[in-house]
Amino acid sequence: GINAEYGDFWQDCCASRVFNTPLTEQGIIGFGIGAAAAGSTAIAEIQFADYIFPGFDQLVNEAAKYRYRSGNEYDCGRLTVRAPWGAVGHGALYHSQSPEAYFAHTPGLKIVVPRGPIQAKGLLLSCILDNNPCIFFEPKILYRLAAEEVPLGTYTIPLSQAEIVRQGTDVTMIGWGTVVHVLLEVASMAEEQLGVSCEVIDLQTIAPYDAQTIEASVKKTGKAMVVHEAPLTQGFGAEIAARLQEKCFLHLEAPVQRVAGWDTPFPYIYEPFYLPDKWRCLDTVKKLVDFM
Amino acid sequence: GRHKQWYQRRVRGALALEHSCPVLVELMTYRVGHHSTSDDSTAYRSIDEVNYWDREDSPVGRLAKHLIARDLWSTDLEDAYAKECRKEIMTAFGRAESERGPNPLWMFDDVYDSPSPHITEQREQLREHLERYGDNYPLDKYMPLD
């Protein structure tokens, strides 16, 4: 892979099973669907999530609908598609995108985003074992930044289960991938500077998502914010905000806030001004707390 | 740059001149450098192959040898010129790096042919945010907000 994801392990175990393909995302994904439908566990890599779109039709019209259209006679559940995802500091328009919202809109696909190495291993294994086509987005900025003691044995982290990474009582902060680390920093700042206790939730699986955990949290705090790098309009935060106001209306002390990338293509030199950074997030905490 | 390309030309130019007909010219190239800074191309091709095209059979190299053989060029001239070019590039590079970026609010331009209300609203949100939190941003590396 472009970030040496596979390393040299493939030479030891299975040279015939780890291979390069022609450069065609439609083909990579289509091939993976076919292999999966025929009974092989298929893991298809797209070099950058920004390049996944030539395979959009394969994912949306083939992979997602395979089981449904055949009345459960056939499926391509053994397919996992993985792709580097999100801002990296210098990625610009075509090496920084977070396309989860496009795919979350398609019933039949599972979308997963880990926040670090320990989650990456557990969640990826879950995706591979899961009997549905999964898309696994890997925050590329964390490839070289994140270092954790990852257990050597096999373990899985369940899909469709959010994790409360930091407990709190005043504000619920929901994010996934890189942004979870921003939220943890903001939670500390909010505690120190504002005396506000924030609960940080890593959604982990975008679709199908763990509504129960976030609803319980928001009913407790009464104040919610969703943060993502992807552009604001029609980002996945919109779905969460809609659901929270529907399910938790009487518990809300302020409108559900979203902090997101602006509605522009992901810029190059303007990246520091584009991202939903800790200052915009901290400001949103203030807005929530000061609302009433 | 990374891509040192060479061209093996099948020139049908003579044909085009003689017969005034369209001609398809096929240029074969060989990419000497790695695909990107993330790539180590020795993983999929031999270093001997790369060296062959780069040193033995490079049209650029062949042209240099041809000019030298005709006393129109020399390795000394080559070295001096390479040095001069590098200096020119690095100077331009340094100058460009020290220039300030454009006004950050221009980030919202050119999404559409003309700005839509939600984009204008977001631009104002950023402006307002920078008015209050600007110290935390590298604003000195950009032209002022308008």
* A25 is known as an active-site residue: yes
Query: What is the average pLDDT score of chain B?
Result: 88
- What are φ and ψ of residue B8, in 5° steps? -105, 115
**Distance in Å, alpha carbon of B117 to nearest chain A alpha carbon:** 11
Q: Which of B107, B111, B133 sits opposite A270 (nearest CB)?
A: B107
For residue A5, the chain B residue with the least C-alpha distance is B38
Contact criterion met (CB below 8 Å) for B83 and B62: no
Burial of A251 from C-beta contacts in 10 A (0-12 / 13-18 / 19+)? middle
Phi, psi of A75 (to 5 degrees): -160, 165
Compare CB distances from B107 to A20, A233, A264 and report the shortest one's residue: A264
Q: State the Cα–Cα distance between residues A42 and A127, nearest whole angstrom.
A: 11
How far apart, in whole angstroms, are the C-alpha atoms of residue A4 and residue A16?
Answer: 18
Q: What is the 3-state secondary structure (H, E, C) of A212-234?
A: HHHHHHHHHHCCEEEEEEEECCC
Does B1 have pLDDT greater than 50?
Answer: no
Residue of B nearest to A265 (CA): B111
Q: How far is A85 from A145, CA to CA, in rounded Å?
A: 14
Distances (CA, A) of B124 to A44, B88, B129, B145: 42, 41, 8, 11
From first to last of its 292 residues, what are the pLDDT tens digits of chain A? 656 666 665 556 677 889 889 999 999 999 999 999 999 999 999 999 999 999 999 999 999 999 999 999 999 999 999 999 999 999 999 999 999 999 999 999 999 999 999 999 999 999 999 999 999 999 999 998 878 899 999 999 999 999 999 999 999 999 999 999 999 999 999 999 999 999 999 999 999 999 999 999 999 999 999 999 999 999 999 999 999 999 999 999 999 999 999 999 999 999 999 999 999 999 999 999 999 7
Which of A45, A62, A95, A100 is catalytic? The answer is: A95
Which whole number is the average pLDDT over B117-129?
98
pLDDT of residue B27: 83
B137 at the A interface (CB within 8 A)? yes
Distance from CA of B74 to the nearest CA of A (A): 41
- A95 is an active site residue: yes
Q: What does the pLDDT read at residue A7?
A: 62
Which residue in chain A is spatially nearest to B39 when comparing CA positions? A2
Of A232, A274, A279, the CB nearest to B107: A274
The answer to whether the CB atoms of A273 and B108 lie below 8 A apart is: no
Does residue B25 carry a pLDDT above 90?
no
Chain B window 53-92: which residues touch A at a Cβ cutoff of 8 Å?
Answer: none
Task: Give, in order, the Cα–Cα distances in Å from A110 to each of A102, A121, A214.
Answer: 12, 17, 18
A83: β partners? A137
What distance in Å separates the CA atoms of residue B119 and residue B101, rounded to the nearest whole number? 21
Q: Does B42 touch chain A (CB under 8 A)?
A: no
What dihedral angle (degrees, nearest 10) is formed by the CA atoms of B8, B14, B17, B20? -80
Give the C-alpha separation, A272 to A250, whole Å. Answer: 37
A-chain residues near B138 (CB < 8 A): 272
B111 at A interface, C-beta within 8 A: yes
C-alpha to C-alpha distance for A266 and A255, rounded to whole angstroms: 27
Mutate to test the interface with A, among B122, B136, B140, B143 (most CBs of A within 10 A): B122
Q: How confident is the model at residue B3 (pLDDT cuts 50, 70, 90)?
A: very low
Which residues make beta-bridge pairs with A134? A80, A110
∠ CA A221-A222-A225 to the nearest 5 degrees? 90
State CA A235 to chain mean position distance.
12
The answer to whether ipTM exceeds 0.85 is yes
* Chain B nearest-CA residue for A266: B107
Residue B5, pLDDT above cutoff 50: no
pLDDT tens digit string along B32-88?
999 888 788 998 899 999 999 999 889 889 999 999 999 999 999 999 999 999 999
User: Which of A135, A3, A1 has its CA nearest to residue A81?
Assistant: A135
How far apart, in whole angstroms, are the C-alpha atoms of residue B12 and residue A62? 47
The number of C-beta contacts closer than 8 angstroms across A and B is: 44
How far, in Å, CA of A136 to CA of A70, rounded?
25
Q: In angstroms, what CA-CA distances link A144 with A4, A178, A273?
A: 11, 13, 23
Residue B4: its pLDDT value, please? 42
Residues of B whose CB is below 8 A from A280 = 129, 133
Task: Specify the pTM.
Answer: 0.89
Sheet order of strands, A198-202 included:
A163-166, A198-202, A171-175, A224-231, A257-261
Nearest Cα neighbor of A233 from B57, B2, B121, B104 is B121
